[in-house]
Structure 1
Amino acid sequence: MPAPRNTLKHRLAAKEVLHGCWIGLADPYLAQISATAGFDWLLIDGEHAPNDLRSLMAQLAVIEPSASAPVVRLPDGDPAKIKQVLDIGAQSLLIPMVESAEQARELVRATRYAPEGFRGVGAALARASRFSAIPDYLTTANAEICLIVQVETRAGMAALDEILGVEGVDGVFIGPADLAADMGYLGRSGAPEVKAAVLGALGRIRAAGKAAGVLVTEPDYIEEARAAGATFLGVGIDVTIFAGAMRRLAAEMAARRGA
């Protein structure tokens, strides 16, 4: 029996346009609610959300039975963190702040068992192998790992073509917020200069045959990103969706009370 088929990896390789949502509320109950919504993928955020290894694992467990493919974003590219999150069952990773092809190559190696990489061998006690219930896990796991690297600085954008040439990188995700800050437009990711850089990069990624990713929530920007070539397209964030809905309801009730 081989490692589970990574449907996200194969759908992205087939150039499907897949819509997803950021999951930052750091709770399995809320993650499970999100998994009923019908998104193609859900990204469990371990960079800016208050998640640890156990909370990441709990959210993976409730998303996996759904039609939404789980993705985990780690806070950095530390090989020890990558090893742990793969062992708890993640197959698709998003790694932030990638700025060179060498960095991308090391990330590929960290996600693969030898001889392709240096992922530590501990699958016998890992959730990833269903606790040794998948006898062929070690020999088949590499092929089902989906690695998306996040480019979000001017240095990363300058190295984009070299990063795109790294074998084992399935996609490149452009981070508009950090890119805007690095370009001198802090808090203005929709600035024309930033948007031009983002859309241009998406086109280059798609032309290179990789999955082109971005997170944008404004309807017009979503359409522009899709037209530019985005296939791993984040269209919402659970935190802002929840906060916005709560505030709108509270404001509506306050207005009715005052009428």
Structure 2
Amino acid sequence: MTASRLQQALATKPQVWGGWITGPTALGPEAFACAGYDYVGFDVQHGYLSDVDVAVMLRRLQHTAVATVVRLPGADAAPIGRVLDAGADGVVIAMVETAEQAGQAVAATRYAPDGIRSYGPLRADLGVDPDVLQSRVSVFAMIETARGLAAADEICAVPGLTGIYVGPADLAISMGHHPARAWTQPEVTDAVAAIRRAAAAAGLVAGIHAGSGDQGRVLAHKGFRMITLASETQALSRGAAAHLAEATGTP
């Protein structure tokens, strides 16, 4: 069966690097793709994106080499099925705190008898074979709370997961720290390392939101393999500031 672009990248590269989309845009995903990013993530949890927005942007990336994932706020089967029917290579399920929740996320991506996904293919280029449609899906459970941290081993043991994706900001908040200290507070950095070890021990991909290229490089050296570097707004702000500094001669 044909592997998805995300599966191919994870199988052949030590790290895959991602950009993040938080609002409807015709140019942002393609800019990340043309810059050489391995995947683009679409944020339906915190972003301003509808199912239609995601479907349109996924279709626009059809003729590029970039992989795609969609972050969803929970394990509800209907929205997960819709973004997969629209062609997403994988889903990232936010705020997973128990093995049961992780199992529900996996079940939402699998057809009966393995799960509860409803059959409704939309993309002609992906075909209509349920086995093929199911096999191309990657599922990531986000561990980003103290409760999720405590259940990390049990979550990682859930069959069908592709990987674990760490949300450092929410993890820091749940442990009583400001999100800006996610990379400097030892209790939080130790928790991030513990989650990565749990994923590695279970044979899962360890992913994380880095927020910058510098932090992404550090996290790669620590063993993370799927690393989101920046959102489209972060990339635009950084580029706009650089252009203005060049023009005005200000540091």
On whether the aligned pair clears a TM of 0.5, the verdict is yes
1:78 aligns with 2:76: yes
Residue deviations 1:42-86 (CA, integer Å, cap 9, x gap): 111111111001110111112232221111112322211111111
- Mapped to 1, the partners of 2:104 and 2:137 lie a distance apart of 14
Residues matched between the structures, number: 248
Residue deviations 1:211-236 (CA, integer Å, cap 9, x gap): 00011134553333222220111122
1:193 pairs, out of 157, 168, 187, with 187
**Could you say which structure has the greater relative contact order, defined with CA pairs below 8 angstroms and 6 or more residues apart?**
1
Judged with a 3 Å threshold, the aligned counterparts in structure 2 of structure 1 residues 168 and 111 are, in CA distance, closer, same or farther, namely same
Match of 2:14 in 1: 16
Q: How much has 1:254 moved relative to structure 2?
A: 5.4
Matched residue SS, 1:115: coil
Amino acid at match of 1:152: E
Matched residue SS, 1:54: helix
1:158 pairs, out of 127, 150, 160, with 150
Q: TM-score, normalised by structure 1?
A: 0.87
Matched residue SS, 1:172: strand
1:205 aligns with 2:203: no
Matched residue SS, 2:27: helix
Moved over 6 A (4+): none
- Mapped to 2, the partners of 1:239 and 1:215 lie a distance apart of 15
Match of 1:92 in 2: 90
Judged with a 3 Å threshold, the aligned counterparts in structure 2 of structure 1 residues 27 and 57 are, in CA distance, closer, same or farther, namely same
Query: Following superposition of structure 1 onto structure 2, how do residues 1-259 of structure 1 map, counting pairs within 5 Å?
Result: 4-12=2-10, 16-123=14-121, 126-127=122-123, 129-130=124-125, 134-135=127-128, 137-187=129-179, 188-190=181-183, 191-219=185-213, 221-250=215-244, 253=247
Residue deviations 1:171-221 (CA, integer Å, cap 9, x gap): 000100000111111222222321221123213212321000011134553
| Higher CA-based Rg | 1
- Mapped to 1, the partners of 2:200 and 2:228 lie a distance apart of 16
In structure 1, list runs of 5 or more residues that go unmatched.
Answer: none
Range moving further from structure 2, 150-159 or 17-26: 17-26
Matched residue SS, 2:58: helix
Amino acid at match of 1:73: R
- Mapped to 2, the partners of 1:96 and 1:83 lie a distance apart of 16
Contact in 2 for aligned 1:64/1:70 (Cα 8 Å): no
Amino acid at match of 2:159: E
In structure 2, list runs of 5 or more residues that go unmatched.
Answer: none
Matched residue SS, 1:112: coil
- Mapped to 1, the partners of 2:35 and 2:249 lie a distance apart of 30
- Mapped to 2, the partners of 1:141 and 1:251 lie a distance apart of 48
Q: Percent identity?
A: 33
Amino acid at match of 1:213: G
Range moving further from structure 2, 170-179 or 196-205: 196-205
- Mapped to 2, the partners of 1:119 and 1:18 lie a distance apart of 27
Q: TM-score, normalised by structure 2?
A: 0.90
